[in-house]
Chain A
Amino acid sequence: MGILVGKNTRLVVQGITGREGAFHTQQMIEYGTNVVAGVTPGKGGEWVHGVPVFDTVKEAVTATEANTSIIYVPARFSADAIMEAADAGIELVVCITEGVPVLDMARAMAYLANKDIRLIGPNCPGLITPGEAKVGITPGHIHLPGNVGLVSRSGTLTYEVVQALTDKGIGQSTAVGIGGDPIIGTKFIDTLKLFESDPLTDQVVLIGEIGGTDEQVAAQFIADHMSKPVTAFIAGRTAPPGKRMGHAGAIIQGGEGTADEKIRALEAVGVKVAELPTQVADIVASQM
């Protein structure tokens, strides 16, 4: 298996009775993910695609031993849903929801600080270990099991790169979408660390974008701690400064966060940076 999700994943879906929650529950089950429970307050006792629904995460965990949660609840309830999952003893929480207020997340992160839990997202496509489990909204069919780990701040851009890899017959160990918001639970370096110690990952692809300095921090981590080759793609070379490009994180302010700064930082530590998504696959192939 790859990292974080796989055959041992026992998934609870928070917001399972909503439109997105129900649709993606079905998609995840079809992909082979072990979805053991759903949660929607007030809907306990119902069933969605053969999955039992509970009123609280705690009940779901007690009844089904769920160890992973995915969140599709509306943005104004998401931070609370994350904290509820943490309180119920979930080990990995994946928050798909877009548009969570930043200060809600700041408070939620303070709550998670002394709990043994990993959060991915919010505002992310989730993650997939091809052939084993999909915890998210990624189209499963474009993936191929293999040995390249992917970590990305973007959603659909990741699909683009995955498609390019799969088209060349290059499979993926796990693809993780960490999300594009200013405050996210798992950052590049947390994921790089996991890939570095995963025996089934041989090389890593990092997909970044403008805004913040996480790619520069990742570059330093790669220089200091990574033995596996890393290939990168950075979106937003042509973005004008001061404008918010969809993701709350994708905004260039002052001297921090341009694509050029990130590309320079990565190239300085020996990371090959592709100019086009398809070139990522060419570079990865040349390093196999």
Chain B
Amino acid sequence: MKLHEYQSKRIFAKYGVPIPEGEVATTPAEAREIAHQIGGSVVVKSQVLVGGRGKAGGVKVAKDADEAEQLAKQILGMDIKGLTVEKVLIDPTADIRDEIYIGVVIDRAQQKPVIIASAEGGVEIEIVAKENPDAIKRVAVDPVFGLMNFQATNLAYDLGLKGHYVGQFTKIIKGLYQAFMDTDASLAEINPLVVTGDEQLLAVDGKIVLDDNALYKHPDLAEMRDIQEESPSEREARLAGLNFIKLDGEIGCMVNGAGLAMATMDIVQHFGGSPANFLDIGGGANAEKVAKALRIILQDPNVKSILFNIFGGITRCDEVAKGILEALKQVPTDVPMVARLVGTNEEEGQKILAEANFPSATSLSDAAQQAVALAKGA
């Protein structure tokens, strides 16, 4: 789950990270009032959960409260990569002399948190990683001992910081690391951390991505979820305990297991079709869950055929078969379907479908080819 810039920066501030003293507005009049309070020039920043806001015209500088109101009017309601801007953050502009990148992520290879830092801030770290990998510093942190003081100060010197900046940076990086740990984040990032004209470090942009599996520990953070982060069908699926991602194709897929679900999408493509979604119903799904999943797939008007691929381990084929028939009772549809149910209780499952004259296949390749043919109206 992603947090907005303003939410992320406020969390960082609790850990001693200096941030601009801005406020969030949902109307141009509010934006004007906030800009007026701040005084002087401000930056109007769209709060949407997607990268590239600046390039899309969603971040603009206003010289005074009048202009802030005008810009807020433009930006609020704007569509950025499919998301509608509903909030803008009004921050005082910073006098930027230099930009630094700092972030904390989990290093899968070392199996511990790692701090990533670069003196080339302000651009995406992925671009720095490609174009100038030597500019990126990495510090692995033992999750039991935590970030040690010497690691923080060494990193400051490695980034070329000197004098009073070293102490400031040490405090900020320790705050960022602690925020990462305390919120069970999978990413905590400040980009850029700027050196200002009055020789202070200031976090002008921030981002936190939380580990969904740890949200039960943090009900206050879970409440911050912006439903815009996911499409309505993705939200419905999440609440039903299904892993669903909408795609652009025309063959709906319902599969048990993430790896098999991805392989099923690949096979559909291999035989000339294109998947309408990724859908993993998880292990041990019952009839009710299958029915819910089918309803979600059918909400997509692009779906021209549906492929069920179930390899039962924990999941029982007869439960899935019952779920399919149950869903069809509730949501009658003309969309053609084919089911391939094997593994636990496969005979019972196949019998239930056969009695209902539901088309089935025994091999995955066969099922995928049938689904592709059905989608093409063959």
A interface, CB within 8 angstroms of B: 20, 75-76, 98-107, 109-111, 125, 137-139, 142, 152-160, 163, 180, 182-183, 207, 209-210, 212-214, 217, 233, 235-240, 243-250, 253-255, 259, 275-278
A247 x B258 contact (CB < 8 A): yes
B259 x A152 contact (CB < 8 A): yes
A107 x B263 contact (CB < 8 A): no
B interface, CB within 8 angstroms of A: 106, 108-109, 111-113, 126, 129-130, 142-144, 181, 184, 186, 211, 213-214, 216-217, 243, 245, 247, 255-263, 265-270, 274-275, 278, 280, 282-284, 311-314, 342-344, 363-365
A275 x B270 contact (CB < 8 A): yes
B216 x A20 contact (CB < 8 A): no
CB-CB under 8 A for A157 and B263, given A101-B184, A277-B364: yes
By a CB distance below 8 angstroms, the chain B residues around A253 are 126
Closest chain A CB from B237 CB (angstroms): 11
B113 x A106 contact (CB < 8 A): yes
Closest chain A CB from B134 CB (angstroms): 16
Closest-by-CB residue of A relative to B265 is A238
Candidates B142, B256, B258, B259; contact of A110 at CB < 8 Å: B142
Q: A156-B257, A240-B245 are in contact. List 11 more A-B contacts (CB 8 A).
A: A106-B112, A106-B143, A139-B343, A153-B259, A156-B313, A157-B263, A163-B311, A233-B263, A236-B265, A254-B126, A276-B270
Candidates B213, B247, B257, B342; contact of A101 at CB < 8 Å: B213
CA distance A34 to B373 in the complex (A): 48
CB-CB under 8 A for A245 and B312, given A104-B214, A110-B142: no
A235 x B262 contact (CB < 8 A): yes
Candidates A103, A160, A255; contact of B260 at CB < 8 Å: A160
8 tightest A-B CB contacts, nearest first: A154-B259, A246-B258, A156-B257, A157-B259, A101-B214, A254-B126, A156-B260, A235-B262
B106 x A245 contact (CB < 8 A): no
A235 x B130 contact (CB < 8 A): no
Closest chain B CB from A283 CB (angstroms): 16
CA distance A139 to B312 in the complex (A): 8
Can you spell out 21 A-B residue pairs with CB atoms less than 8 angstroms apart? A98-B282, A103-B181, A104-B214, A106-B106, A106-B111, A110-B144, A139-B313, A154-B259, A156-B255, A157-B257, A160-B364, A212-B108, A235-B262, A235-B266, A238-B265, A238-B266, A238-B275, A245-B261, A246-B258, A250-B262, A255-B130
By a CB distance below 8 angstroms, the chain A residues around B113 are 103, 106
Candidates B109, B112, B278; contact of A245 at CB < 8 Å: B278
A210 x B313 contact (CB < 8 A): no
Closest chain A CB from B376 CB (angstroms): 18
Closest-by-CB residue of B relative to A154 is B259
CA distance A115 to B266 in the complex (A): 41
CA distance A182 to B108 in the complex (A): 6
CA distance A278 to B266 in the complex (A): 13
Closest-by-CB residue of A relative to B315 is A156
A103 x B211 contact (CB < 8 A): yes
A255 x B129 contact (CB < 8 A): yes
Closest chain B CB from A33 CB (angstroms): 16
A142 x B343 contact (CB < 8 A): yes
Candidates B184, B243, B311; contact of A103 at CB < 8 Å: B184
By a CB distance below 8 angstroms, the chain B residues around A156 are 255-257, 259-260, 311, 313
Candidates A100, A125, A210, A255; contact of B262 at CB < 8 Å: A210
A139 x B266 contact (CB < 8 A): no
Residue in B111, B144, B181, B247 with the greatest tally of chain A CB atoms within 10 Å: B111
By a CB distance below 8 angstroms, the chain B residues around A138 are 313
A213 x B109 contact (CB < 8 A): yes
CA distance A212 to B108 in the complex (A): 7
A157 x B260 contact (CB < 8 A): yes
By a CB distance below 8 angstroms, the chain A residues around B181 are 103
CB-CB under 8 A for A183 and B108, given A102-B211, A209-B262: yes
By a CB distance below 8 angstroms, the chain B residues around A110 are 112, 142-144
Residue in A111, A159, A238 with the greatest tally of chain B CB atoms within 10 Å: A238
A155 x B259 contact (CB < 8 A): yes
A103 x B143 contact (CB < 8 A): yes
Closest chain A CB from B34 CB (angstroms): 32
B257 x A278 contact (CB < 8 A): no
CB-CB under 8 A for A254 and B314, given A110-B142, A240-B247: no
B111 x A101 contact (CB < 8 A): no
By a CB distance below 8 angstroms, the chain A residues around B245 are 240, 243-245
CA distance A244 to B186 in the complex (A): 13
CB-CB under 8 A for A245 and B129, given A107-B143, A139-B312: no
CB-CB under 8 A for A209 and B259, given A101-B214, A107-B144: yes
Candidates A106, A154, A243, A244; contact of B257 at CB < 8 Å: A154
B311 x A160 contact (CB < 8 A): yes
Candidates A107, A182, A246, A276; contact of B261 at CB < 8 Å: A246
By a CB distance below 8 angstroms, the chain B residues around A243 are 245, 278
Closest chain A CB from B145 CB (angstroms): 9
Closest chain A CB from B173 CB (angstroms): 18
Closest-by-CB residue of B relative to A100 is B213
By a CB distance below 8 angstroms, the chain A residues around B282 are 98
A239 x B214 contact (CB < 8 A): no
Closest chain A CB from B148 CB (angstroms): 15
By a CB distance below 8 angstroms, the chain B residues around A101 are 184, 211, 213-214, 217
CB-CB under 8 A for A246 and B313, given A107-B143, A154-B257, A154-B259: no
CA distance A180 to B278 in the complex (A): 17
CB-CB under 8 A for A237 and B260, given A100-B213, A139-B313, A248-B213: no
A237 x B143 contact (CB < 8 A): no
A214 x B214 contact (CB < 8 A): no
CA distance A195 to B216 in the complex (A): 39
